[in-house]
Chains A and B, each alone.
Chain A
């Protein structure tokens, strides 16, 4: 088997003295949709921010066969790593279209315009609202814009931090539908979620993170069988939240 697209070994991340992610090792194979699920405060956002380069970390990160632990953030974007952050971080005082174009700023103009058309066909809603200021979008639209902006960079690996956060179940379904479409089109995805039920439905492989460490991993079916995890993350009723 070929080497994984993303290979994280013994990654530890600390805020000052307080270490909140401990010796985490995860892999994402080319073309896969991998999910990391975990409760509030487990360290999921911290992990993604460290992988992206927003936070410093100890440990090895290999992306497309190259070590990137010491590579600055903008070079990681250049190499095809992209993050849709938990707080979206849109350019609120700029129109939707400018947000998207800036997402593709490291690409050539031709590539950028072509990708813009693709993103607009994936998210027709964004096309309708292309002149609206990003700050005035609804929560669901903002999430779509954050994803669209990341896709404008044509990532090899798209990392998403709780894309379902604060969205109505219908919109969550739409977003996850788009994730499966993206995966089918060849984008590898690392999805961090608290909404474990939805994440396990679309993922190829899952990690469970608890108190800053990976405690369980396996296929979504295996995770869904684990009675302890079912109780803590999937709930006994049918409630996803």
Chain B
């Protein structure tokens, strides 16, 4: 392999790795705050890409309908689980966030879609449509199980994954689509052609990671979320509302998923079920980071992206298998060196 090919693969790998990093830190965050291994994280990625693709064609995407469906389910869940303490405040919040917001976004989407207002509007609309899905899913599927074991939560996560795949097929159909690059510029560095899209991916990912670090390192809200993972009982004892913390972490996860979807849209053809593989690769990175360390997770995600690029060059038929095989030595190494952790609670 000569340097040009190596550099090309490196570029490819780093770009994919950057996207995996965003998905992976969302997984780590959600696990830290709620102990949920959020299998369906990839679905946000696919749905966001499909949303932008539809908007680019001047079609109204089905995303707001999906959002409305989730909102109705969340409202029902709220009424069922909190029947005994349904305050006026609670009902107003449910009506606004679960019903009024999706309807407003639906109206906005239907109005804006035919106008083809351009990339920025499409992206913002996609983010606005995907992000509220996170807390809704948390309230429908995970909040009632908040005190269950990690295994029960994982099974629920698989349930949500299969439901979302099903809903994805219904709402988006089986066709795949791609989106236009964020930037069509390209320039050459020696023998290597660097595309504007890859620069955009790197800048957006780096910026989000910095924001993420600042939020968790500097703000009290971010520290409160960390407290939930540091000591769950302690967090409850100081009065951190664990349900709100869970919803918030799911909102961030959905937001990160939406941004990832916008970044991968131009890189591949996205289908309604493409998210699973992306999520699974990010999961490999998250496991390498031990589901706790953000920096390690980001490095691991870049490594997974690079390994994938190398494998697709050497043995493209076995690329996925080889990527997932990476997890075996890591798990073996962790189980030898990691201290034994008792599961708390």
CB within 8 Å of B: which residues of A? 52, 54, 70, 73-74, 77-78, 82-83, 85, 87, 89-94, 98, 101-103, 105-106, 149-150, 152-153
Contact = CB atoms under 8 A, between A and B. Distances in A.
A103 B238 contact: yes
A90 B227 CA distance: 9
Contacts of B227: 91, 94, 102
Contacts, number: 65
A191 to B, nearest CB: 17
Contacts of A87: 233
Query: Which 6 A/B pairs are nearest by Cβ-Cβ distance?
Result: A77-B239, A89-B234, A91-B230, A106-B239, A89-B233, A74-B239
A73 B235 CA distance: 11
Contacts of A152: 238
B240 interface: yes
B224 interface: yes
A101 B235 CA distance: 12
Interface of B: 84, 220, 223-224, 226-227, 230-231, 233-242
Given A92-B231, A94-B230, A74 B223 contact: no
A101 B236 contact: no
A90 B233 CA distance: 9
Nearest to B233: A89
B237 A83 contact: yes
B236 A90 contact: no
A82 B227 CA distance: 17
Contacts of A85: 233, 237
Nearest to A52: B237
B237 A77 contact: yes
A56 to B, nearest CB: 11
Contacts of B226: 91, 93-94
B220 A102 contact: yes
Given A94-B226, A105-B220, A149 B238 contact: yes
A105 B234 contact: no
A191 B220 CA distance: 30
A93 B227 CA distance: 9
B327 to A, nearest CB: 26
A74 B230 contact: no
B236 A102 contact: no
A89 B237 contact: yes
Nearest to A49: B233
Given A92-B230, A94-B230, A105 B237 contact: no
B294 to A, nearest CB: 13
